[in-house]
């Protein structure tokens, strides 16, 4: 069948909209009519080739829509089901079987290599193979071939156009707090970078009962929104030494810190802003080979640093929890979202990474 897709043809280029042909779903695959897809920082880092996903490619990995067809052996969803599409994982390795799907050893080839594991692709343009299968879905298109593991079934009356960003960015920020760090009520936490991931972490920290939630950024509009969403303190990193301020605000250092920026100097500042026994999570995706340094003695005195992928979540469990939290008024992630028509995709990119007018752009098909 034919679909309309946004294609990145060259490194750093704009999205090009064109018709493509999509295969029928194979075993364990589904065909989804995409209602909307969130734009994530990872889409843009792949456009810029921070990760070696081959070009040209159809990106998009925060899709949501309705199942149209299912392949043989698919049992958890059926045609007509509304679904959020999240990341891809094998489902059979020891990590997946233990509920740690975000740390599946096949995560990189399944999500970033632009092909199925057998080297095939479900998309062609003008008869030529097109790289796809991005996060198992490539949802910057009106239709998507995804795997059953990608799918998170939601209620029939769900506002499906809103829910796609739960599949990656919002899940990552919230899950870093709720699943990975699990701060006790009364804890202090410093969040470096308050884009969609950081603001999701702010809301999750508030829901967790953190007593002091410190947001650090260079964008005053986003800092003000962080305060509205639960931050008790905001720090403008342009005019203020964040590390010194956090230590002063917390009486010696935060219990937890999160770095969403993928900037080595910022990560160092996040670690150094925690007290002894403090824990820092790094969630930002830097280009391959990026290194950073730490004072070994600072780490020696009980501090912890951990990486977190996709909020350490099992999407089929965690995404429904986030939806329930929103319905209870505890996680108003809709305040991060700005909607665009699909053919406005390049405007959405500019508003996201240039002007900063959009925190979480959602493309409506």
Could you tell me the pLDDT band of residue 140, with boundaries at 50, 70 and 90?
very high
The β-bridge partners of 32 are 67, 144
pLDDT in tens, 33-72: 999 999 999 999 999 999 999 999 999 999 999 999 999 9
pLDDT in tens, 147-181: 999 999 999 999 999 999 999 999 999 999 999 99
What's residue 36's pLDDT? Answer: 98
Strand, coil or helix: 184:
coil
Residue predicted with more confidence, 287 or 337: 337
Q: Residue 259 is inside which H or E element, if any?
A: strand 254-259
What's residue 287's pLDDT? Answer: 83
Place of tokens 């910057």: 140
CA–CA gap between residue 203 and residue 64 (Å, rounded):
22
Residue 122 in this model has a pLDDT that exceeds 90: yes
Where do the DSSP E strands lie in 112-187? 123-125, 128-130, 143-147, 151-153
Task: Specify whether the CB–CB gap between 329 and 319 falls below 8 A.
Answer: no
Strand, coil or helix: 21:
strand
pLDDT in tens, 300-331: 999 999 999 999 999 999 999 999 999 999 99
How far from chain centre, in Å, is Cα 73? Answer: 28
pLDDT in tens, 78-107: 999 999 999 999 999 999 999 999 999 999
pLDDT in tens, 252-305: 999 999 999 999 999 999 999 999 999 999 998 888 889 999 999 999 999 999
Helices then strands, each counted (H, E), the chain: 12, 18
CA–CA gap between residue 58 and residue 67 (Å, rounded):
20
What's residue 341's pLDDT? Answer: 98
Residue 355 in this model has a pLDDT that exceeds 90: no
């Amino acid at each position: 069948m034919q679909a309309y897709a946004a294609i990145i043809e060259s490194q750093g280029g704009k999205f090009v909209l064109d018709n493509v042909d999509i295969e029928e779903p194979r075993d364990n695959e589904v065909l989804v009519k995409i209602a909307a897809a969130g734009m994530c920082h990872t889409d843009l880092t792949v456009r810029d080739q921070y990760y070696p996903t081959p070009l040209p490619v159809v990106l998009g990995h925060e899709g949501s829509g309705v199942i149209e067809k299912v392949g043989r052996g698919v049992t958890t969803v059926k045609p007509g089901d509304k679904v959020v599409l999240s990341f891809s994982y094998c489902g059979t390795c020891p990590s997946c079987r233990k509920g740690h799907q975000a740390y599946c050893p096949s995560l990189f080839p399944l999500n970033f290599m632009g092909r199925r594991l057998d080297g095939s692709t479900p998309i062609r343009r003008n008869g030529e193979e097109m790289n796809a299968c991005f996060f198992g879905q490539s949802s910057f298109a009106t239709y998507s071939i995804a795997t059953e593991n990608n799918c998170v079934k939601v209620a029939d009356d769900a506002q499906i156009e809103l829910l796609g960003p739960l599949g990656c960015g919002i899940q990552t920020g919230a899950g870093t707090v709720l699943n990975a760090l699990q701060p006790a009520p009364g804890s202090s936490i410093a969040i470096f970078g308050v884009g969609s991931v950081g603001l999701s972490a702010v809301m999750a920290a508030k829901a967790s009962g953190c007593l002091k939630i410190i947001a650090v950024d260079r964008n005053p509009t986003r800092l003000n929104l962080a305060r509205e969403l639960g931050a008790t303190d905001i720090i403008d990193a342009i005019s203020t030494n964040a590390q010194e301020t956090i230590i002063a605000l917390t009486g010696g250092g935060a219990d937890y810190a999160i770095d969403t920026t993928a900037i080595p100097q910022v990560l160092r500042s996040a670690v150094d802003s925690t007290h002894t026994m403090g824990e820092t999570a790094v969630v930002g995706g830097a280009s391959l080979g990026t290194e950073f340094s730490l004072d070994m003695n600072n780490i020696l005195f009980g501090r912890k640093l951990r990486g977190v992928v996709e909020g350490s979540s099992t999407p089929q469990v965690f995404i429904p929890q986030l939806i329930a939290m929103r319905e209870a008024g505890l996680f108003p992630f809709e305040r991060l979202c700005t909607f665009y028509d699909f053919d406005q995709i390049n405007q959405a990119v500019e508003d996201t990474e240039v002007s900063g007018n959009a925190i979480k752009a959602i493309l409506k098909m």
